[in-house]
Structure 1
Amino acid sequence: MIEWLVRGLARTKWLVLIAWVAITAVSFLGLPDLQSIVRETEQKFVPSDSESVVAKEIMERIDPEQTTRSNAIIVFSREKGITSEDQQWLKNKADELKSLKDNDGIKSVQSAYEMPEMAAKFRSADGTTELIIVGFQRAENDAATQEAVESLGESLGGAPEGSSVALTGSAPISKDFQKSSEEGLKKTELLTVGLVLVILFIVFRSPVAPFIPLLTIGLSLIITRGLVALATEYGMPVSSFTESFLIAILFGAGTDYCILLIQRYREELSVDNNPVEALVRTMRTVGKTVIFSASTVFVAFFLIGFAQFGLYQSAVGVSIGVVVTLIAGLTLTPALLLILGRATFWPSKINSGGGHGESKLWSAMASLASRRPVAVLLVTVILLAPLTLLFEGKRSFDDIAEIDPGLGSVQGFRQVEQSFGSGEVFPVSIALTSSESMRSPEALAALEFASASVARLDGVKEVRSAVRPLGEQLNELTVQDQLSKTSAAIEEMKSGVDKVADGLTTASSEIAAGQGDIDKLTGGLQVMSDKTKEAKNGLHKIHGGLVSAAKGTDQIAGGLSQSADVAASMAADLQGLLQAHPELMQDKNVQMLLGKQQGLTEGLSQLKKGTAGVQSGFKQLNPSIAKVADGLGQLADGQSQAAAGAEELKGGLNELTGGLKDGAKGLTDISSGLGQVNDAQKSIADKGGSQIPGWYMPEEALSRPEFQQALAFYMSEDGLTTRLEIVLDVNPYSGDALLIVDKIRDTMRQSLANTAIVDPQVSLSGTSAQIHELKDISRNDFTRTGTFVLVGIFIVLMLLLRSVLAPIYVLLSLGFNYLVTMGIVEFIFVDLLGEPGLSWSASFFVFLIIVALGVDYSIFLMARFKEEYRPGGITYAMSRAMTTTGGVIISAAVIMGGTFAALMMSGVNTLLQIGAGIVIGLILYSTVFMGLVVPALANLVGEANWWPYRKQKAAAGQESQAKGADPVLGG
C-alpha cells in the first residue's frame, strides 16, 4: 500500500506541489481572516449562566436605554492641581462627546458637568485628576467599539499645556491588549522562522534542505488559519493564544516530523541512489512513527474541545493544524524530496548513508540505566522531587500585567489607581432584585443597612447605591443627624420646664411669707369659697391631664390651659372682692396677696408655654409628672378647705404652698430627666452613625429631585431591580480582591434577610467577581480536561506499543516532569522576579503542551525499543533504541524548544511564562527522563513491558527481523 502511494506520488509530484500552492492561495484569499476574528472576539469566556453574566443582564433592566457594554475613561491630570482652564477644556470635551451620543458607538457620557451633584465621583480628593466616563453600545472587542476608541483617542489632542491626558477603561485596555498580542505574534513569527532556519542549517548542513520544512509548514499554517477562522462560524472558540500556539506547535512538531522524514530519506538515498526507492523505504519505516506522533498531539488538542471553559477550548484549533501539517508532511514533503532528489542536501555528498549514527552519550546513559535502574530512579527522584514542592499553584489574574506598561491604557489606569484608589476603574457591581418594589422608605432603609454593612468590610473603600449615590450616607437621613436635631429641641424643652419650676417655687415662697396676715382675709375668702371649688375641679382636671401625659401631650396642654383659666378666674374673684371692700386695698397684706395671685397666674402661664416643648418627652417622664399631679392635687385640696371656711384658709394655703413646692420639685425632676436623655443622645451621636442601625426616610424625601436622580441611576422604574457599586481599596486583580468578593456576597445576603426587601436575590459582577469565577472554573476544567488528555494519549500509546504497562510509566514520567517544570518556573517568576503568581492559564497550557509534545519523544524511543525487542533481550533493545534515536530526540527537542522560546520574546507575560515552562520541560524530558528515567523503568519492568501482548510482540519482532527491516523509528 505504502509503496503504491509513493510511486503514485512520484508520478504526480509537480501536481501535488501545484495543488498545495493552489489550496493555500484559495485559503488565503477566500477564507476568513483569523486575526480579525480574534480581534473582535470577546476574551472573557465566562459561561453564559455564570453569576457575573447573569448579574450584568439583570442590571441592564435598570435603564435599558442607558445600559453600556463597555467603557472608556478619559483621565485628565495635572501634578499641581487642575486649574479653571483645565475644567473649561474638560467641560467642552464632555459637551463635544455628548453631541456624539448615539453616534460612533457612544451611548452615554458621564462627567462632573453632567452630574454636578455627583462631582466627587469624577474628581479626586487631591484635586489633581478628573475623569470623563464614556459608555459604548457594544462590547470592548467589537469593531465599532475599537473604532470609537481610536477616534476618541485622536480627539484628546490640544489639552492645556502642562496637563496629561490618558485613555483607560475596559475598551482601551482590551484594545491595547490586542495590540500587544498582535505585535507579539509578529515577533514570534519572525523569531520562529529565524530560529528554525538556523537550526535546520545546522542539522542538515545544507542551504536547500531547510526550505522543505519551511515551505511545508508555511503552507500548512496559512491553510490552517483559514480553516480555523471558518470553524469559528460553527462555534469553535478562538483567543489571542490560538495563533501563537498554531505557530509554535506547527513549526515545532511539523519540523520534527520533516526532520525524521528528510534524515531517513538521506540515509536510504545513500543505499542505491534511487530517489523513489529511497522514499518508499523512508515512508515504510518512518511514516508510521510520524502518524502516531501526530496522533498524540491531535488527540490532546482535540480533547481540549470538550473543556467547558472557552479559553481552554480556543486551543482546539491546533488539532486542525496538526491534521493539515500531517497530510502536508506525508504528501508535500515527499513530493519536494522527489523533485529535488540529491540536490536536497547540496553541497553535501551522499556516499555512505547519513542517519544519526550512534550517540556515545546516549550509549553511556543506556548502559547506566540497564545496570543500575533502581539507583538511577532513586537518585533522580531524590534530586528532582524537592523541585516539585516549589510549585504551590500561585496564580495571577492581572490582565494589566499582560500589557506593555508604556501604553496609554495602563498609564491611565495607574493614574486613576494613584488618585482615586485601585478599585475605582473596575468596581464590584451587585445586582439586587426583589419581588416587590424597593421604592419605599422601609425598603430603602434596608438597602442602607446592607450598604453600611458592606462598607464596614476590610478591603472596601466605599459603597455607592440608590441611598448613597456618592458612596457616603445621606446625613440628613441618618439617626445621628436626627438625634442632633432632637437634642436641640430637648434643650429648649428643658429651659421651659426650668422656668415653670422657678415660677412655682417663687409663688410658694411668696404665699408662705404672707400667711401671718391671713386672718384679715377671712371675709374675702368666704366669698371665694364657691370659686375655690371650681378651682379644685380644674386642678383635678390638670392632675388627670398630667397623669395621661404618657398617652398624649395634647391632654397635658389642655389641663394646663384649664388651670390657667381657673387661676384667671380666681384673680377676677379677688378683684371683685377688693371692689366690694375697697378698704382692703389699703392693707399691705392684701396687696401682697394680690401680687402673689398674679405671680401664680403668670407661673401657670409659663408652665403652659413650657409644656408645649415637653410634649415628645412626657411618655418617658410619667413618674415626675405624677409628682406634679400630686402636688397640684394638694393645691386643689387646700383651696377646697379654704372655701369651706375662712378659719381653714391658712391651713389650705399651707397645703397650697406644699403643693407648689412639690410641683416645682416634679418639674425639676422633669428637667433633670430631659438633661439625661439629651446627654445620652449626645453620647450616641458622638460615637458616629455607624453605631446606629436605624435609618429613616421620610415620604417627602423620596420626591426630592436629587434623590429621584439617584434612584433613576441605581434603581429600575418599577423598583424591582437595583444595583450597588463596591469600590475596593485593593487592586481588583489581586488575591485579596478575590477573597473580598465572597465576603461581600455573604454580607449582602445576611443583612437583607428578614427585611422590607422581599425575596432578595444577590448577584455579583465586575472584574473581581469574574476573576473569582474564572479561578474556580479554570481549576475544575483543568482537572477534567487534563484527565481526558491523559486517557486519550494512553489509548494512542497502547495501540502503538501494544502494551498496557509501558504507556502507564511513560505518562507517569510526563506527569513528574510537569511538576518539576512548574516548580522551577514558579520559583523563577514568583520567588526570584517577585510576581504575585504565574498567569492563571500558564499552568494548564504548559501541561497540555509538555504532555502532548513530550510524548512524541517517548514514541520515538519506545517505537524503536519495540522494533528492537526480542524475547529476553530487554537490555539490548533499549540500548539499541537509545543509541539510534538519541540524536533524533535531541534534534526534535531543540527545534521544539526553539519555537517556544520565540514566545518568550512576544512581550505578553503569559506567553513568556508558557514559553519558559515548555523550554524547561522539553529540556528536562528529552535528557533526564528520556535518557535515564524511562529506560530505567523499562529495564525494571522487563518482559512485562509487552503485557498482555508479549507473544504477539515477539512474533512481530522476529518477522520484522526476517524481512531485514532496520527502521530508525517504527516498523
Structure 2
Amino acid sequence: MPLDYVQSFLTRRPGWVVAAWLGLAAAVGFASPSLTRLAAEGQSKLLGPEAESRRAADLVRKAWPKQAYEATAVLALHRPSGLTDADRAFASRVQGRFERGDRPKEVVRVLGPDSDREIAGRLVSADGTLCLVVVPFDTSYVAPSAQKAVAWLQDEADALRRADAGQIGGLELRWTGDAVIGRDYMAQVQTSLDRAAAATVALLLVVLLVVYRSIWLAMVPLLTIGLSLVIARGLLAWLCRAGWEVSPLVELFLVALLFGTGTDFCLFLSWRFAEHYNERNPAGVMRLTLGRSLVPLVTSAGTIVVGLLLMGTTKFKLFSTTGPSVALGLAISLAATLTLAPALLVLLARYRPKAFRGFAAPSGDLWDRAGRVAMSRPLRSWGLALLAMMPLAVLGTQTRFVMDLLSEMPRTTESGETLRLVASRFDPGMMAPLTVVLESDADLRRSEGLALIDDVSRLLSHQRRLTEVRSATQPLGSPEPLARARLSSRLGEVNDGFRQLADGAGTLNRGLTEGAAKLRAALWLGRRVGLNVGGALGAATGSGAGSPSSPAARAMASGLGKAAAAGMARGGAPPWDLANYARAFDLLSPAGPPAGPGAPVAAAAAAAPAGSADPSVRRAGGSTPAEGPPPTAAAGTGPAEVLLAEITRAADGADQIAKGARRAHREVSAILEDPVGRRALDRLLITPQNIDENPDLRKSFGVYITDDGHRARIDVTQGDRVFSDSAMNQVEVLRRRLREYLGEYEGIDVRASIAGANAESADVRLLTHDDQVKSWFVVPIGVFLVLLLALRDPWACFNLVATMVLTYLFALGATHLLFVTILGAEGLDWKVPYFLFVLLVAVGVDYNVFLMARLHEETARHGFRGGIVRAIGQTGGLISSAAAITACSFASFLSSPLASLRQLGFALVVGITVDALLVRPLLVPCGHWLLRRSREVLGPGQPALARSDRLLSRVPD
C-alpha cells in the first residue's frame, strides 16, 4: 500500500527526509519576498468595496479629487506659555517645506498658517498655545507608503527645527493624526510578533525540557515546527504576490498556533513512540507508532484546519484572510509532523539512544486516581464541574466589546497623547471629519435640490455630539447667511406688508369717510337754502379746504394715491371707478380740471396700468381731454352727487382692504409665532437674487456640489474623538436617520452614504459582529461534521462540541472579570471573542480527539466504565503536557504592548488550562457516560456505538 511504502521509506531513509526538509526550507526562506511588508499592505484593504464607507470614499475621490483624502498626518506646534511670532513664522516655513515639489506622492495638500484665512484661523487653538499643520494623504492610514510619507515629513520638520533652534527654543513638535497612529499601531504589532516568537520558543523549550527531560528530544518539535513556519511564511508571501490577501495578524497566529498545536502533534507522536520504545528496533516501533497515530493526528488537525478554513466564509478580511492562511501553515506542520518528526526521532534513537531513557512510558497513577474518582459518581462529578464553570460562563454571555484603536495602544504612545492634547484644545472630532455624500438623479443646484441639501444639513445640525456641519447652503458651518432666503423670513416680510397695507387702508377709509360727510352736508345745505354747491365748493377749493394746495386737498390726494396703489398692487382694477371719480372732482372745481404734477386725482389716475381694459382709465391718465359725460353718471345727476357716490364707494373699498389685510396679518402672525408653523416654514428657497446677494454661495456650490449637479457632499465634525466607540455609535445613528428621512422625502429621489475614518471603523464593527454570529454556528457545525466522520457517534460529537463552547464562555467571562471588572477597561477588544471562539473550539479538539481515541481503544478491552478510567489515566499526562505547551505559546501574547493581544492571550491560556484540567478529565468522560447510559435505557443506538468502538480500536496493542 502507498501508506506502508511511505512509512517504510521514512524509517529506513530518515537522513534523506531531514535533508529534503532542510533544503526546502532554505530555498523557500531565502527566495521568498517579505511576508511582513506584504501583510502590512493587506491591513489597509480590510474592507471590501461593498462597505458603505468605501463606496462613499470612492465617490468623494472621483467627484472631488482635490478635496479627497484617506488619512492625515498632523504636526502640532505646542508652547504651553503661548505661541510667539517666531513660532508662527516657523510654522509657515514648515508648511512651505512640506509643499515642495519633491514631497511624497501620497501627500495631497498641506494646510497651515499660510492657507486661506478661514482655514488658518481654525488651525490655531483659542488659547494661542497650539498651532497645527495638517497634511492629508491619499492612502490608508496603515499602508506602508503612508508610513514612509510620515517619516519624510518628520525628517523635514526636524531639519528645520535644528536650523531654527535659536529662535524657537522650547517649542514642542508633536505628531498625531490617523496616519501617525496607524504607523505606531503597526509598529506595536511587529513588536508583538517579535516578542511572541522569542517568548514562545523560550517557554516551549522550558516545557519540553520538563516533559522530555532531554535537550535533544526537545529540539525535535522545535526544529519540525521551525522549518514548517519558514516554509509556510515563504509560500504565503508568494501567494500574496499572486493575489492572496493576508493581514499582519497572520504571522502572529502562525507563530502561536504552529508552535502550540504543531508541538502537540509532535508530543503525541513521540509519546506514543515512547510507549513502545525499543532501542534495538526504532524503525519498527516508529512504523507501529505511525499506524496508531495517523487517525488521531489527521482528525485533530482536520478539525482545526476546517475551523480555520470556515473563517474564510466571513466578510471581514482580517478574519477571512487569517483563517485560511494559518490553515495552510497548519497543514504544512502536520505534514512535517508525519514525516520530518519521525525521521528525526529515528535518527535520534540511532545516534543518541540515551535521550529516550528519561522519556519512558509515563506513569498514569495521578490521572488513574482522578479517573476513578470521577467515574465513581459520574453524575455528581459532571454536575460539580458544570456548576464550577457556569458563573463565569454566564458572565461571558454579558461581556461588552469595544473597538477603540487608541485604548488598545499604550497610553504612553506619543501619537495618542498628542491626539488627546489636540482634542483638549480643539473639537475632538476635527482630526477625522465625516463626509456625507448625497446622490440624486435630479439637479441639486436647483431650488428644490438646494432645499434638500439645506434640509439634510439642518437635520445633521440638530444631532447631538455634532459640532459643525458644512455644506453648499452653509459653507461656513452656520445657516445664518441665508436666513433671509428661508420661507419664514420671506413670509415675515409679507406679513409686514400686510400690516402696512392695513394701516394705509384704514387711514384712507377715515379720510374718505370724513370727506364724504362734508360733501353730503354741503349738498344738503344747498338743497335747503338754495346755495350754489359748485360755487361753494369752488370757493372752498380755491381759497380753502378744496384748494389743491390746501392741507385738505393734499390729504385727499394722498388718500387717493394710496387707494390707487393698493388697487394696482392687487394686479387688477381698483374697487371704485377711479376715472369717473377724477372727472367728477374736476367738474366740481371752479378752475376746471387741475393740471400739473400737483393734481392729486390726475396723479392717481395716471397710476393705473397702461394696459388697463377700461378706456376711460387710459383717457383719464392721458394728455387728451376727456370727452362726453362720465359713463357711470345717471341722467340728471349733478357732479356733486357723482363725487359723493365715488367717495363713498372708495371708502367701502378701503375698508375691505383694511379688514382683509388685518385678517391676513393675524393668520400669518399666528403661523410665524407658533412653533409648529416656524418648523414648517424653516425651509430654504434660494433664488438668483439670493445668490447675487451672497457671492460666497456660488463659490460654495463649486466646492460642495459636482458640476453635473447630481452629487453633493456635507462635511461633518463629530464631538467625539477618532476611533472611539461613541463616535462609531453616532455614525450608525446618522446612517439610520438619513435613511429614514430621505426615504420619506417627497419630490427628489436621493441616496446618502457616509465616508471617513469613524465610518470605516463602524463598518468594521458591523461586519465583525455579523461574522461572529455566523461563526457561532458555522465553526461548531464544521467541527462536528469532522468529528462525526471519525467517531461515527453523533451524541459523542455533540458532547465534545458543547463542552468546547462552554469552555469558550468560561474563558470569556474570566477575561472580562480581570480586564473589565478588576482592571477597569471599558470592555474587551472586539477581536477577542472571534479569535478566541475559533481557536478554542478548533484547538480544544486536540485533547478531546486524543482522549476519545484512547477511550475507544480501552473500552474495547476493559469495558465501558473501566475503559473510561484507563483512558483518563493514559492520556492525562499527554494532554496536560500538550495543554502546557499550547498555553505557553499563547501566553506569549501577554508580552504584547497591545491590549487586544494581552486579553486574547489571557483568554486562550485560561480556556486551554480549564479544558485540560477540568473539561477533559471530568465533563467529557462523565458526559459521554451519561449519554451512553441514557441511550442504553432508551434502547436504540448501541450498534452505532459499537461500530465507533471498532473503528478507533482497529489497531491492536
**Structure 2 residue aligned with 1:294, among 301, 305, 308?**
301
Shift of 1:219: 1.6
1:84-483 aligned within 5 A: 84-100=85-101, 103-111=104-112, 113-118=114-119, 122-124=123-125, 127-157=128-158, 158=160, 160-269=168-277, 271-315=278-322, 316-341=324-349, 350=357, 354-360=360-366, 362-390=367-395, 391-476=397-482, 477-478=485-486
* Equivalence for 2:65: 64
Q: Distance in 2 between matches of 1:602 and 1:79?
A: 78
Asked whether the 8 Å contact 1:289–1:860 carries over to 2, the reply is yes
Q: Which of 515, 524, 529 is matched with 2:535 structurally?
A: 524
CA distance in 2, matches of 1:678, 1:802: 83
Give the 3-state SS of the residue equivalent to 1:61 in structure 2: helix
Which range is displaced more, 773-782 or 475-484?
A: 475-484
In structure 2, do the counterparts of structure 1 residues 129 and 434 end up closer, same or farther at CA, with 3 Å as the change threshold? farther
Q: Shift in Å at residue 55 of structure 1?
A: 2.0
Q: Structure 1 vs Structure 2: percent identity of aligned residues?
A: 26
Map of 1:49 onto structure 2: 50
Distance 2:677 2:423 in 1: 29
Mapped partners of 2:478, 2:751: distance in 1: 24
User: Is 1:874 matched with 2:885?
Assistant: no
Shift of 1:71: 3.0
Q: Distance in 1 between matches of 2:83 and 2:489?
A: 34
Query: Once structures 1 and 2 are overlaid, which stretch shifts more, 911-920 or 517-526?
Result: 517-526
Cα offsets for 1:463-506 (capped at 9, x unmatched): 22221223221433445666787788889889988998998899
314-323 vs 765-774, greater mean Cα deviation:
765-774
SS at match of 1:461: strand
SS in 1 for 2:772: helix
SS of the equivalent of 2:713 reads strand
Question: Contact conserved, 2:499 with 2:662, CA < 8 A, in 1?
Answer: no
Deviations 1:689-720 (A, max 9, x none): 87742223221444655223322222211110
For 2:727 and 2:583, the matched residues in 1 are separated by: 72
2:771 matched to which residue of 1? Answer: 781
Alpha-carbon offset, residue 783 of structure 1: 3.6
Shift in CA distance, 235/949, structure 1 to aligned 2, threshold 3 Å: farther
Change (3 A) 1:412 1:698: farther
When the two chains are superposed, the root-mean-square deviation of aligned CA atoms in Å is 4.8
- Structure 1 residue identity aligned to 2:468: E
CA–CA distance in structure 2, aligned partners of residues 930 and 606 of structure 1: 111
Amino acid paired to 1:455: S
Partner of 2:684 in structure 1? 695
**Quick one: structure 1 residues 290 and 604, their matched pair in 2 at CA, closer, same or farther if it must change by over 3 Å?**
same
Q: Are 2:881 and 1:891 equivalent residues in the alignment?
A: yes
| 1:915 corresponding residue in structure 2 | 905
Q: CA deviation at 1:11?
A: 4.5
**Correspondences of 1:78-89 after superposition (within 5 Å):** 78-79=79-80, 82-89=83-90
Residue type matched to 1:812 in 2? Answer: A
Range with bigger deviation, 880-889 or 284-293: 284-293
Which stretch has the larger CA shift, 557-566 or 721-730? 557-566
TM (norm. structure 1) is 0.81
Does structure 1 residue 717 correspond to structure 2 residue 707?
A: yes
AA partner of residue 195 (structure 2): K
Q: Name the CA shift for 1:89/1:482 in 2 (closer, same or farther; >3 Å).
A: farther
Q: Give, in angstroms, the shift of residue 572 of structure 1.
A: 8.1
Match of 1:937 in 2: 927
2:850·2:875 contact (CA, 8 Å) conserved in 1? yes
Change (3 A) 1:505 1:878: same
Residues 841 and 910 in structure 1, CA contact (< 8 A), matched pair in contact too: yes
1:727 has 2:727 as partner: no
- Corresponding residue of 1:818: 808
CA 1:364/1:694 → structure 2, altered by over 3 Å: closer, same or farther? Answer: same
Tell me the CA shift for residue 916 of structure 1.
1.2
Rounded to whole Å, the distance in 1 between the matches of 2:679 and 2:561 is: 43
| Distance in 1 separating the partners of 2:586 and 2:76 | 76
Question: Which segment drifts farther, 223-232 or 65-74?
Answer: 65-74
Q: CA deviation at 1:831?
A: 2.8
1:76 Cα offset (Å): 4.0
Aligned partner letter, 2:93:
N
Change (3 A) 1:92 1:954: closer
- What amino acid is aligned across from residue 400 of structure 1 in structure 2? L
Tell me the distance in 2 between the aligned counterparts of 1:958 and 1:448: 76
What displacement does 1:847 show?
A: 0.8
Q: For residues 513 and 569 of structure 1, do their structure 2 counterparts lie closer, same or farther at Cα, with a shift above 3 Å needed?
A: closer
Structure 1 residues 709-739: Cα deviation after superposition (integer angstroms, max 9, x where no partner): 3222222111101112232323554554444
Q: Identify the residue that residue 844 of structure 1 maps to in structure 2.
A: 834
Change (3 A) 1:470 1:280: same
Alpha-carbon spacing, 1:167–1:441, altered in 2? closer, same or farther (3 Å): farther
Which stretch has the larger CA shift, 9-18 or 566-575?
Answer: 566-575
Distance 1:442 1:860 in 2: 72
- 8 A Cα contact 2:113 2:123, kept in partner: yes
Cα pair 2:561 2:604 within 8 Å, conserved: no
State whether structure 2 residue 828 is matched by structure 1 residue 809.
no
| Cα distance change on mapping 1:526 and 1:280 into 2, 3 Å | closer
Deviation by residue 1:3-30 (Cα, 9 ceiling, x = unmatched): 7545533553333333222211211111
Structure 1 residues 405 and 682: alpha-carbon distance in aligned structure 2, compared to 1, 3 A threshold: same
Distance 1:434 1:102 in 2: 38
Equivalent-residue separation in structure 2 for 1:723 and 1:470 (angstroms) = 14
Aligned partner of 1:594 in structure 2 is: none
Alpha-carbon shift at residue 400 of structure 1 (Å)? 2.4
Change (3 A) 1:736 1:912: same
Q: Would the aligned equivalents of 2:470 and 2:477 in 1 still touch at CA under 8 Å? A: yes
For 1:2-41, what aligned pairs fall within 5 Å after superposition?
5-41=6-42
Larger mean CA deviation between 59-68 and 45-54 belongs to 59-68
Give, in angstroms, the shift of residue 907 of structure 1: 1.3
1: distance between equivalents of 2:862 and 2:223?
A: 45
Amino acid at match of 1:833: L
Between 458-467 and 278-287, the greater mean CA deviation after superposition: 278-287
Cα distance in 2 for residues equivalent to 1:874 and 1:934:
14
Partner of 1:573: 591
* CA-CA distance at 1:516 after TM superposition: 14
1:792 aligns with 2:793: no
For structure 2, the 5+ residue unaligned runs are 162-167, 609-629
User: Contact 2:466–2:718 at 8 Å: present in 1 too?
Assistant: yes
1:98-132 Cα offsets, whole Å, 9 max, x none, are: 34488532223345643334556545555554444
Matches of 1:827 and 1:563 in 2, distance apart? 97
CA distance 1:660–1:938, change in 2 (3 Å): closer
Specify the alignment match of 1:632 in structure 2. none
Partners of 1:898 and 1:804 in 2: CA distance: 33
Counterparts of 1:320 and 1:752 in 2: how far apart (Å)?
47
The verdict on how the C-alpha distance between 1:382 and 1:267 changes in structure 2, with shifts beyond 3 A counting, is: closer
1:747 pairs with 2:737: yes
Q: Following TM superposition, by how much is the alpha carbon of 1:882 offset from its aligned partner in structure 2, in angstroms? A: 1.0
Distance 1:273 1:568, change over 3 A: farther
Q: Report SS of the residue matched to 1:880.
A: helix
